[in-house]
Chains A and B, each alone.
Chain A
Amino acid sequence: MNKGWNEFDAGAILFTFNEKVGNISEIHSEDRPYSPSSSFTASVSDWRIEKPVFNKEYCIDCQFCWIYCPDVSIISRDKKMVGVDYDHCKGCGICVEVCPTNPKSLMMVAEGKDEEEVLAAWPQKDQEKNNG
């Protein structure tokens, strides 16, 4: 939508969904009829310099990453951390900071890095941390 400044409507109503929906607080994003007006359909992936990579092996599903992610980009379903939504993640790194496991279950790496390689070279448990 490439409109000039003087072509916008003075006041506007945007509809988030294409059709009538029930109680949205009980319907997860994958089952919602988003319209193109919802920013859910947009992406900010090009904002990132680094991305968080998730390693399921160490995760205890504490959900700290879920609650503190500003960008609704930690996907949790049925009390389990499922992964990162890379369309909406801005790469802030909060999820990594709040992850309590040792080693961490999330790690920031350069955007272009291969996920499999990162997982294969995951850091070991930090012994010093454990000993206090």
Chain B
Amino acid sequence: MVENKKTKNLKEFSTSADRFEGANLLCPGCAHSIIVREVLNATNDDLILSAATGCLEVCTAVYPYTSWDASWIHIGFENAATAVAGAEAMYKALKRKNRLLQPERVPKFVAFGGDGASYDIGFQWISGAFERGHDMMYVVLDNEVYANTGGQRSSSTPIGASATTSPAGRVSYGEKKEKKDMMAIMAAHGSPYVAQVSPSKWKDMVKKIQRGLNTEGPTFINAVSACTTEWKFAPEDTIAIADLAVDSLVFPLYEIIDGHELNITYRPKNVIPVKEYLAAQGRFKHLFKPEFKHILDEWQVRVDKKWEQLQRREEARI
């Protein structure tokens, strides 16, 4: 391992030499790249990376260009976890046989995938990699929609969001299903470290990334990725929207250790009404019509209930 990264404060952190490049084709203001930068900058270790098909992959590997300054592989939509798990297995085998070309370099293995690639289509591949226990980290860029193909709903899309396959209209308030609880599912795999992060809370996020990378075994990060194009807000507001997401407790920041020990890592000083978070995004605009008021009310009740549940789990220490 190379010298540990200095991240005590932002000035120190800003001495990082980025391993991700601009002139990629992500939208102006896209949160995916803010997340990727915080993940890659969290360590000085060598990195072996993969990405599932989706905005991040499509926009950072446009032949003949790459935006990655570390080993990076893309195979298909569903198998980012498998690609990196394979690389990790090969690394271990070569090490065992004493055939590593540069044995002094000890890399970390990280896979990136969108919510579509992770919650839905690549789910069994992630589950398999976690069950086999590879020493890797899986990061979800959770923008709650299949953004790269034009905004179809995924199992991460929350109730009331208008997506192209669950559009809001005269009679419909949009998506009908609750967002899938991936955190609980990954904790149930017995993962040694599972955490939810927001790039707007950089210190909390970087700490969790470092903990995940330094924990042996398969670790999981769910990162809220505010999508200017599909959530419908102005590109300069990406960080403000991410802050609203965590301060309204729609995206609570917490971690689960060894599948059971839950810690809330950020408690907003002023909790913001869920309505304010929803009102800031075009995908929820229709919810403010009088006929859909019950959906708004249910949103707040659901978020309060989840927060209560997280606090109880934290207290119980089981």
Contact = CB atoms under 8 A, between A and B. Distances in A.
A120 interface: no
Given A14-B66, A25-B43, A68-B34, A42 B23 contact: yes
A36 B46 CA distance: 22
Given A25-B2, A29-B17, A39 B66 contact: yes
B236 A38 contact: no
A21 B294 CA distance: 59
Contacts of B60: 39
A67 B14 contact: yes
Interface string A77-91: 111000001011111
B187 interface: no
A67 B13 contact: yes
A96 B236 contact: yes
B19 A88 contact: no
Which of B2, B21, B27 neighbours the largest number of chain A CB atoms within 10 Å of its CB? B21
Interface string B196-236: 00011010000000000000000000000000100000111
B16 A25 contact: yes
A101 to B, nearest CB: 15
Contacts of A77: 15
B238 A94 contact: yes
B128 interface: no
B248 interface: no
A47 B239 contact: no
A54 interface: no
Interface residues of B, number: 54
A121 interface: no
Nearest to B43: A25
A82 to B, nearest CB: 11
Interface in B82-104: none
Interface string B13-42: 111111111111111111111100110000
Contact of A94 (B22, B61, B235): B235
Contacts of A90: 27-29
Q: Is the interface of B mostly helix, strand, loop or mixed?
A: loop
B5 to A, nearest CB: 8
Contacts of A66: 10, 14
Contacts of A16: 66, 68-69
B294 to A, nearest CB: 34
A26 B27 CA distance: 28
B132 to A, nearest CB: 25
Contact of A1 (B43, B64, B202, B240): B64
Interface string B133-153: 000000000000000000000
Nearest to B31: A70
B44 interface: yes
A12 to B, nearest CB: 6
B43 A79 contact: no
Interface of B: 2, 10-34, 37-38, 43-46, 60-70, 199-200, 202, 228, 234-240
19 contacts: A1-B64, A23-B2, A23-B44, A24-B70, A25-B2, A39-B23, A39-B62, A41-B23, A63-B14, A68-B199, A70-B26, A70-B28, A70-B33, A72-B20, A72-B21, A76-B15, A93-B236, A94-B236, A97-B239
